[in-house]
Each structure stands twice: as structure tokens, then as C-alpha cells.
Chain A
Amino acid sequence: MSMFFQDTSTARRRRLTMAGLALPSILMMALVNGYPVVVAAVQSVHDGGLLKLGDFVGVENYIRVFQDPLFWKSLRFTVLFAMCGVFGSWVVGFALALFLRTRFPGSAIFRVLLLLPWIVPIVVTAMGWNWLVATRNSIMPQLAEALGFGPVMFLADPTMAVITVCVFKIWISYPFMMMMAAGALETVDQSAIEAARVDGAGPWNLLVHMILPMTARSTYISWILMTMFSVNDFPTIFLLTGGGPVNATSSLVVMAYRTVFQDFQPGYGIAITFVITTALAVLSLCLFNLIRKSSVS
């Protein structure tokens, strides 16, 4: 059948139709993603303001990036934040997905309720968190003091701010992981699980040796996507701490934003984003190919 259609006007028309169907997305990506990247690249080798290009400075902005102590501090926090975001949310999300797979009254309702941190706008949830932790009279500081931890300043102390932002990230992100895990668990071969259980395998062994391997591909994809989401995340940090105190929670994206729109140095800010983007694009391409290979095997 396929031979019959090869090299005919019908096949050419089909290819043209396919190209036509892809065209809107290509144009959109070219205009709103591609062209801005080119403009950004040009800006990153100049020292101008937001609306004027300024003088050509070559790779000076890039050299400056790697010499800036704040860059390395931000990089360190970004890695920490992404690691906590990815693995913390996966542990919570996967555990909840397993829990919700058991039957109990109203389990379907809880499945929706537990997605709320992801559905409710982050501007709203950041305010809820702000109210819980922001001042000495807030609930969490009061609770910490009652438990004998002394006065804890969740947003004003650098270490506590890092912890608070990471916990907030896990809380924001676990629903995504829960949904990915739930989807993967649907495909797990239940008869194999039952056979293992009959053979005497305990819950932990079932989890480690059967359920986790069977859902591994989906898990890796979740980790990759969440890594990208976490590295690129801006509101989770900005809305809670603004990158403070004393840049303790300044991720690279927050640093880039502040450099451009608060310090009005777009060339330098864009150089920072290009460093992030290059690393992340290389990472995602490598992982993309790894996934594709693993699916073939």
C-alpha cells in the first residue's frame, strides 16, 4: 500500500499539507522564540540599556559572569533548589500516588484535592505561605517557638529562607510528580505484582524490585522535566523572598531578572541567561537522546 502512494502527486500534496500544518507553530517559535534569541545574543555583546544597544564589548559580559561572586552563589543555590525540587517532589508525589491507588471512601475526591497546590495560582499560594511564615507572629514561627526551637525567622534568616523556598518548591511541584506517577502506575502489570506477593514478597521489596523498575522511564522523564521547570522557575522564589535575604535565595533566573529590570544592565543579564540556557539545552538534548534510545531497547 505504501509503495503505491510513493512519488505521486498525492504523496507530494500530503507532504505539503503536513508542512502547512506545522507552519503556524514554526512561525510562532521563530518570531517569539527564535528572533528574540538572536536579538538577545546581540545585546549580550553590548553594554547598553533596555532600549538602546550601547557600545560593542565583545565577550566582556560573559567574562564578567564567571568572575562575579554572585553568579557562583546563585549557581550553587540554583543547583540546590533544583535538586530539592526534583527529588523532594518526586518522593512526595510518588508516595501519594501509591497511597491513592488503594481503595477507600472518597479516594477520587482526594486525588483532585491533592492537586490543588499546582492548580491554584502561585501568586495566591505564595500569599498563603507568606501569611504562615512571614512575621514573628505568624503560625509557623509561633509553632517553632512552642516546640522549643527559639525564634525562627523563616524568611529573614538566610539559611531558613533557603529551606523555606525549597519546601515551598516541593509543595508546588509534588502534584505534577503525583500525576506522572499515577499515569505510570496505571501501566504496571498487576498480575506480576500479585504473583510476587503470593511468592511472599513484602511491600518494600515489591516497591524496590518491581514497581520502581516498571515505572523507571516515566520517572526519568519526570525528573528531566522538573529539572527544567526548577532551573527556570522564577515566581516560586521571587514571590516568597525576592531572592533575599542578602541574595541567599537568588537563583540564576532571579539574578538575571534583577540585573536587567532592577539594575538596568540587559547585556550582562542576558549573558547570564545564555549561560543557563546553553547548559540546560545541552543537558536536555543529551537526555532527550537517552530517552529515545531507552525506549527503543
Chain B
Amino acid sequence: MSVNPAVSRKARQRATMGLIRLLAACVITAVLLTPILAVFWLSLRPRLYSDIVGPTLDNFRYIFVNTNVLTWTVNSLSVALFATVASLLVAAPAGYVLSRAKGRIVSIYAMSIFVIQSFPVVVFVIPLFVMFAAVHLVDTLAGVAIIYVATSVSVACWMMSAYFDTIPKELEEAAWIDGCSVLSAFVRIVLRNSLPGILSTAIYSFLLAWNDYLIALVFLRSDSNFTLPIGLQTFFQQNQTDWGPVMACAVIMLLPPVLVFAFLNRFFSIGGVGGALAGK
């Protein structure tokens, strides 16, 4: 019945060390997340000159009545969801080619995709503005959606390629022998086994489109066409000392990506991208 003192001492040390690490993690996290916590705190704090005491949702009520925040939210969701689906449709097949095909032409293709990442978006933004003006795509959601797809595709290709590399080729070769075409084997065998890779890439594309500021800044001009980043920033510039409503807007903008990530983070991995880059 007696417990070995050495064992219990070691167990206590381990528990103590665990608690110390937990405390350290709490402090580190609190410090690092201060700017984000400030956003939440300010969004619930009554405005100056208000007679309300204590936390309140008044700031949220204010922005729904006095700004187009609902329109901006719908705009952002529409654009981000379209960009996510479209970039997957483009990147998954391209990633498959990168993963499975061989030869000099494929190497050139891979290198082209890689190099495109290194271009500052502003290089494309300037002539795209001219092009889009000519075809009336400036100040439209369709215009920014197209650019979001294009900007996310290069990294999305690499993410899909990295994931496809983890799926054995023998599975497809068996399907080919059974009479499947390359395309149907890709859809039925490879894609069906790639849910984590697809979700990972989808999260990346969604975050890129949802969070974008520069492209929206250049291309969106009307309040009714604003996405949340531009609407929020414009509202902020007009209300620089009235933090409550500004931060309420900010909370609305930050909730979707945080929720997406909270529920799907198990699927998200960017480590594979590094592996794919090294392997090509």
C-alpha cells in the first residue's frame, strides 16, 4: 500500500512543471494577444458622452444603423467564398500536374508558378486597373474576386501538390488498369482522399480574400461596393477617436476567419508547402 517516495516526488515535479508551463503560456498569450483583446474590449465599452455604465452592445447597434456594415459583410462573404471555390477548381488540377507529371515543360511550369509569388501585387494592380477600367470591372466585386483567385492560385497549387505527394501513385495506377481515365482516377481516387489538403487550401484562399486590403483599396470606390477591410478602414479614418463603433466593426470582420480556423485548424498545415517547394 505504501507509495514509492521517488515515484510520487517525480510525479509531483512533472505536475508542477506542467503548471509552470501553463502559467507561462497564459502570460505569453495574454501579452501577444493584447492588441486583439483591446479590439474586443473597446467594442463593448460605452462610447464617450454615453450615460451607459458597464459593457454594452450599443456600439454594434450603432454601426448597423449608421453604416453599411451589413452590405460590406455580404460583399466580403460573396467575394471570399467565390474566390475560395474558384481557386480550388484551378489549383487542385494544377497541383495534381505538379505532383505527378515529369519533364522539362513541367519544371518550367513549376518555376513559373513559384516566381509569380515573388512579384509584388502592386505590379499587377497598376496595369490591371487600366485593363479593368477598359472593361468596366473597376469598382465591382467581380473584379476583385478575379484578382483574389489569381493571387491565391500559386500558393494553393503548391499546397495541393504537397498533399497529393502524400497519396500513393499505386492507387491511381490500379484504377487505370481497371479502365479508369486519368481524369476520373484523379477525381475518384486522388480528390476523394484529399479532404484535409482541400480544406487546408480552402482556408488559405478564404483568408487571403477575406483579409485583403490593397486590392480592395485600389479597385473598390463606392461605399455600397466596399468589402469589410475598406469599409472598416474608411469608417476608422472618419471616426478616429470614437473607438467603440470602429472596434465593433472590427469584431464583425474578425469573427469569420477566427471561427473558420477554430473549427478547421486540424486540417490546416503549411508545413507541407515547404516540403513541396524543396521537392520540386
Contact = CB atoms under 8 A, between A and B. Distances in A.
Interface of A: 1, 13-14, 17-18, 20-22, 24-26, 28-29, 31-33, 35-37, 39-40, 43, 50-51, 96, 99-100, 102-107, 110, 112-117, 119-125, 127-129, 131-132, 171, 176, 179-180, 182-184, 186, 217-218, 221-222, 225, 228, 231-232, 234-235, 238-239, 253, 256-257, 260-261, 266, 269-270, 273-274, 276-277, 280-281, 283-285, 288, 291-292, 294-295
Contacts of B275: 218
B139 to A, nearest CB: 14
Nearest to A292: B280
A52 to B, nearest CB: 9
Contacts of A117: 32-33, 35-36
10 contacts: A119-B207, A119-B258, A121-B228, A183-B269, A253-B120, A257-B214, A269-B126, A277-B118, A291-B277, A295-B279
B36 A128 contact: yes
A273 B123 contact: yes
A104 B22 contact: yes
A14 B211 CA distance: 39
Interface residues of B, number: 93
- Lowest 7 A-B CB distances belong to which pairs? A183-B271, A128-B35, A32-B150, A21-B93, A104-B21, A25-B94, A39-B127
B195 interface: no
A256 B124 CA distance: 12
Nearest to A257: B122
B24 to A, nearest CB: 8
Given A33-B116, A257-B122, A112 B270 contact: no
B274 interface: yes
Given A36-B131, A127-B236, A114 B112 contact: no
Contacts of A125: 35-36, 39
Interface string B96-137: 110011000000010111111111111110111111010000
| Interface of B, helix, strand, loop or mixed by DSSP | helix
Nearest to B280: A292
A110 B150 contact: no
Contacts of A128: 34-36, 38-39, 250
Contact of A273 (B116, B122, B147, B253): B122
Interface stretch (B47-55, B59-67, B180-188): B180-188
Contact of B186 (A21, A123, A253, A257): A21
B199 to A, nearest CB: 15
A124 B39 contact: yes
Contacts of A96: 28
Contacts of A183: 269-272, 274
Interface in B145-169: 146-147, 149-150, 153-154, 157
B69 interface: no
B56 interface: no
